[in-house]
Each structure stands twice: as structure tokens, then as C-alpha cells.
Amino acid sequence: MHREIHRGGHVGWLRAAVLGANDGLISTSSLVVGVAAAEPSSAAVLLAAVAGMAAGTLSMAAGEYVSVSSQADTEHADLARERRELASSPATEHAELAGFYVARGLAPELADQVATQLMAHDALAAHARDELGIHETMRARPIQAALASAAAFAAGALPPTLLAALLPGGALAPAVVALTLALLLLLGGIAARIGGAPVARAALRVAFWGALAMAATSLVGRLFGV
């Protein structure tokens, strides 16, 4: 037997972690660059960075938890309905499951045997997978998604926040832009590598949108800053 490595099991936490890290890095860096462009004191820039980091971390956690909880509620409702149908109409559910296998190319007799054996093993799991499309590796996990998003956002927001605390105003914006673009290229490449996607394209895509966000907030700071 050989061991196969599939990336489907990474989807839940990877999506939340990548989104959180990119959001934390881009939004906090953009905030620092925008506020610094208005030429306030170093303390004001640092305050904005810390406040943005704290607010974004909590916002990401709450948003992911609510969003994924809604998905989990839908899954639970579908499974509960399927459980009732299996209890009240097992023959109908058996025929329905066999029909799915016929549609996929099995002969009716073989599809009937497969449905019989799978329902004898775990009828609800068979219907959840083949009728509802609910797979264990793709199940909604609200707490996992919330924690991954919050931790990733804080990690992404930390580099520009540290630069805001350490560098003077004149050197801050160029340093934040350079570091952010480098980290975005790295994060985009890592996420693409884990997910099996083209590395260069994913890295450049993330860096482009980060550069656009920082350019926009810098323009806002210069136009409206006092």
C-alpha cells in the first residue's frame, strides 16, 4: 500500500488562515501608510496601527464564526431531515441512493448492491456524502475557522505595527511598503504551494492587490490629512 497526500483536508483552515494573514497585513499596512502620509506624530501612527490590529483581529474572528456557523446550521438541518427520512422511508431512500450510482455509470443491479451495503454500514453517512455533498473533511467548523482567522490576522498585522513602533515618520512608509510586498509575495507563494496552485501567479496576485490598497490609502492621507 502507498500513502497518498490530498490537499482537500487543508481547505477549511487554509482558507481562513490565508484570508486572515493577508487581511491583517494589507489592512494594517495600508492604515499605517495612509496615516503616515498625513504626517501626524509617530505616536498617532502607532495608535492607529494597534487599534487597527485589535479591531481587525476581533472582527475576523466574529465574522468567520458567524459565517461558518451559518454553514454548520444548514448542514445540521439537512442531516436531521435526512435522518428522519431514513427512519420513515428506508426503501425510498435506498432507491434514491441507488439512483445516484446509476447516474454515475454503475449498472442498476450493481448500484442496488452498493446502496444496500453502504446503507447497512452507515446509511446517514452514505446519504450525507452522495446526496447532500457533505464530506467529513469539508464540514463546517466555526471555532476552528474563527481561531485560525484571528491568529492569522494578528500575525499579519504584527510586522507593520512593529515598524510603526520602531521607525521614525520619514522612513516608516517606504519600509512598510517594502516589507509588506515582500511578505505578501511569500504568503501568496506558501498558500499556493500548500494548495497545489501555481506559485508565481498566486504570489503576484496577492502583492498586486496589496500594493493597490496601500497606494489608495496613501493618496487619501495626502489629500485629506492635516
Distance separating alpha carbons of residues 130 and 132, to the nearest angstrom: 6
Is 5 inside a domain boundary?
no
Cβ partners under 8 Å of residue 26, min gap 6: 156, 180, 184, 209, 210, 213, 214
Q: Mean pLDDT across the chain, nearest whole number?
A: 84
* 85 inside domain: yes
Residue 121 covered by a domain: yes
Q: Are 224 and 38 in contact (CB under 8 A)?
A: yes
**Which H or E run includes 122?**
helix 108-130
Is residue 135, in this structure, part of any structural domain at all?
yes
Q: Residue 206 pLDDT more than 90?
A: no
Q: Is the pLDDT of residue 105 over 60?
A: yes
Q: Which domain holds residue 35?
A: 12-224
The answer to whether position 2 is within a domain reads no
If one counts the domains in the chain, the total is 1
Over residues 17-41, the pLDDT tens digits come to: 777 888 899 999 999 999 998 877 8
6 falls within a domain: no
Residue 4 lies in a domain: no
The pTM assigned to this predicted structure is 0.69
pLDDT per residue over 76-89, tens digit each?
888 898 889 888 88
The rounded distance, in Å, linking the Cα atoms of 71 and 77 is: 10
pLDDT for res 142: 81
Residues of the chain with pLDDT > 70, as a percent, come to 89
In this structure, is residue 42 part of a structural domain? yes
| Cell reading at 160 | 507593520
One-letter amino acid at 61 equals A
- Cα separation, 144 vs 61, in Å, equals 10
Of 183, 192, 189, nearest in space to 210 by CA: 183
Residue 3, pLDDT score: 56
What letter would DSSP give residue 140? -
pLDDT of residue 107: 92
